[in-house]
Amino acid sequence: MNQIKVGIVGYGNLGRGTEYALEQAADMTLAGIFTRRDPASVRPRTGVPVYTMEQVERFQDEIDVMILCGGSANDLPHQTAELAKFFNLVDSFDTHAKIPEHFETVNKASLESKKISVISAGWDPGMFSLNRLYGQAILPNGADYTFWGPGVSQGHSDAIRRISGVADARQYTIPSESALARVRAGEAPELSVREKHTRECYVVSEDGADKTAIEKAIKTMPNYFADYDTTVHFVTQTELDQNHAGIPHGGVVFRTGTTGENGKNRHVIEYRLSLDSNPEFTTGVLVACARAACRMNREGMSGCKTVFDIAPAYLHPENGDFLRKNLL
C-alpha cells in the first residue's frame, strides 16, 4: 500500500483545516494529532487519536509525514528542527526575514535523519513566492508587484487590540483598485506603500473609552498604520461577531515585462487568489507539499526544501502519464 499516513502537530485553525483537507486526499490517511495541551482537552472532529508531544518519537515507523500547524512566532522556530530529526514534515513558517536561518537549522536536522522537510509552504510564502520566481524566470526584464487582500490581517488586528480602551478589533487590508489597474495595464508604475493598500479597521471600544484617542492611536501607529490611508469604524461586539467572523484573504502577484525589439512588446502575468478562509486554503498547500515530501523521500531525497525545490508533479496525486495526457 502506498497510502500516505499523516500526523498533525497542533490543533488550532490550521490543524482543523488540515483535518478537513485530508478528507479530500484519497491517497492520504490521518493517523493522529499531536498536541502540547492535555490530549483529553482536544476533541478532533473526525475522532482520530490525540497524543502528547512527548509521545511523538514512538510514531517514527507509523507516520510518513507530519504537518506542523503551529505558529511562526513561538512554535516552529524550535519545533520544526526538532521533529525533522524523526519525520518527513511540512511547515508554514512565514517570518520572511528569518527564513534563511530557519532553513539552515532544519536542513541540518533533515540531512542527518535522511528525511525531507518542506518549510514555508502556504500562499505567501508559498504560491505567491512560486509566481514571483516563475515570473522573473520568464520575463527577466520587468517588475514584480505583490498586493495583499482584500482580507483580514491577524497581525494588524492584534496590534489594534493592544491599544488601551479597545475590547476587540478586526483589520482588513485592501489593495488599491487604481494601483491594480495601472499594473494590469502594463504601466510598470513605481508605487509607494500608501498607493498600494488601504486599511479598514472595525473596532469595539470598551465602555467609556475615548474613541477619538483610539482612532488617533491606530492611524499614527508606526509600521502598522502610519504609512497607509486608514479608516476606523466603531462597531458593537455583536456587529463584529456577526459581520466580521470570517478570515477571508487573498491578493495578487504580478510580473510585468518587455521583450523584443527595443522592448516594444509588453506582457502581464497575474496570479490572483480570492480565499474565503485563509487557513483552509493554506492547509490545501500543506497537504499537497506533504504528499511531495513523502514521495521525494521514498525516491531517496533528503534535506530541507521549499516550494522552489519541488517538481510540481510530486504535488498531484496522479502519475506522470495521467498528468501529461490530461493537464499538459
Residues that bind a second copy (CB under 8 A): 17, 20-21, 24-25, 96, 99-100, 103, 120, 125, 127, 129-130, 132-134, 136-141, 184, 186, 257, 259-261, 264-277, 280-281, 283-285, 288, 291, 306-313, 315-317, 320-321, 323-325, 327-328
| C-alpha grid cell, residue 46 | 473526525
CB 181, min distance to a second copy, A: 13
CB-wise, 141 or 242, nearer to a second copy? 141
Q: What is the DSSP string of 128-145?
A: HHHHHHHHHHH-SSEEEE
Alpha helix stretches (DSSP H) within 203-253: 211-219, 237-243
Q: Which of 32, 125 has the CB closer to a second copy?
A: 125
Shortest distance, position 299 Cβ to a second copy, whole Å? 12
Tell me the closest approach of the beta carbon of residue 295 to a second copy, in angstroms. Answer: 12
Shortest approach of a second copy to residue 80 CB, angstroms?
15
Nearer to a second copy, 13 or 231 (CB): 13
Give 290's contacts (C-beta < 8 A, 6+ positions apart).
4, 6, 28, 65, 67, 88, 89, 90, 118
Taking the complex as a whole, the smallest distance from the CB of residue 98 to a second copy amounts, in Å, to 11
Phi, psi of 227 (to 5 degrees): -90, 5
Which CB, 239 or 318, lies closer to a second copy? Answer: 318
- Identify the three-state secondary structure at position 48: coil
- Tell me whether residue 230 or residue 302 sits nearer to a second copy (CB atom): 302
The strand pairing partners of 151, in sequence order, are 173
**163/154 Cα distance (integer angstroms):** 15
